[in-house]
Amino acid sequence: MSVVENIDRRRAERYEAAFGVRFSVNGGPEHLSPALNFTSRSLAIRSDMPVRAGDHVDVRFGGLPDIKGEVARVFPEGFAIMLSKGSLAMMTRSDLQAQDTESEAAPELSISSPFIRVNSPVAARALLSSSLDDEPGYNRHFLSILTADPAVLENVGKIWISAETTRWVASGLRIERRGNRGLAVMGLNDWQAHIGAAYGLKLTFVGDEMQEWTVEIEAEPVAAHLETLAPAKLAVNA
């Protein structure tokens, strides 16, 4: 199965939600409720607000673009909407993100890529490390950026990561000096890693004075790294 085919399959997978949303029905007042679960094409909301199939719903959460859809199903705990347009951005809100990026160090049982060439105004290389957990969908991935000049990372307060139209703030971020090199390590969940394998990753480093510089990683080395995980898991479980 190709990486793009894998993403198409994952779009239909349902994730438990760990966030609240603001929504309005048919242009009415805005309400705040917890989300129950979601895919890239649907969203279930816990609410006692009376709605009917076909009602138009506008949803906002986090810093993501507004999501529009129609009520497809009503159940005792709330209702589910079918999105007018599939949203890759929603997948970055998977509760896998919290589970996969809490640790600041690479997992003990892991596999790493070779150093990856990047496109950047600063001298840098990238490295991917991934866990070899048995359960599909719960791998932890760590993206490391090694810079020739440690000073370029000294005042970095935030790193934005984007892939195609999806954008999120780097989680589990750790920045340190290693000898005469700078090192930034951040976590990726499975979905974010697979988006990067399909579209590449662009990292925007934001300094204290809002100065920015970027690192661009092509899709091919990310995809090649993910392809090595399956045979490695077979060897571990043999």
Same fold, 17-89 and 95-237: no
Other CB atoms within 10 Å distance of the CB of residue 93: 22
Hey, what are 172's tokens?
Answer: 């589990």
Q: How many percent of the chain have pLDDT more than 70?
A: 72
Nearest to 136 by CA among 40, 2, 6, 4: 6
105: number of Cβ within 10 Å: 11
Is pLDDT of 5 > 80?
no
- The percentage of the chain sitting over the pLDDT mark of 90, rounded to a whole number, equals 42
Sorted by where each begins, the domain ranges of the chain are 17-89, 95-237
Residue 25 or residue 105, greater confidence = 25
pLDDT at 202: 97
Q: What is the chain's length?
A: 238
> Quick check: 171 pLDDT over 90?
no
CA distance 76 to 10: 27
More confidently predicted of 213 and 137: 213
- Residues ≥6 apart with Cβ < 8 Å to 43: 17, 21, 35, 59, 67, 69, 80, 81, 83, 90
Contact 72, 34 (CB under 8 A): no
Q: Which residue has the higher pLDDT, 230 or 102?
A: 230
Given a cut of 80, is residue 113 above it in pLDDT? yes
More confident call, 182 vs 107: 182
Residue 36, pLDDT score = 86
Query: Regarding predicted confidence, which is higher, 18 or 159?
Result: 159
- Band of residue 159 on the pLDDT scale cut at 50, 70, 90: very high
Please give the CATH topology (third level) of the domain spanning 17-89.
Answer: Thrombin, subunit H (2.40.10)
Q: What CATH number does domain 95-237 carry, 1.20.1280, 2.60.40, 1.10.10, 3.30.40?
A: 2.60.40
Which residue has better confidence, 131 or 218?
218
Q: Which residue has the higher pLDDT, 38 or 49?
A: 49
Mean pLDDT over 165-193 rounds to 88
**Model pLDDT for residues 180-204, shown as the tens digit of each residue:** 889 999 999 888 998 999 999 999 9
pLDDT for position 66: 75
Return the number of other C-beta atoms located less than 10 Å from residue 190's C-beta: 23
How many Å from the N-terminal Cα to the C-terminal Cα in the chain? 22
pTM exceeds 0.85, yes or no: no
Measured between alpha carbons, how far is 237 from 133 in angstroms, rounded to an integer?
10
Dump strand ranges (E) for the chain: 15-16, 20-25, 31-38, 42-46, 56-60, 67-75, 78-83, 110-112, 116-117, 124-131, 141-147, 156-163, 166-169, 171-178, 181-188, 201-207, 212-217
Cβ neighbour number for residue 38 with a 10 Å cutoff:
26
Instruction: Report the mean per-residue pLDDT for the chain.
Output: 79
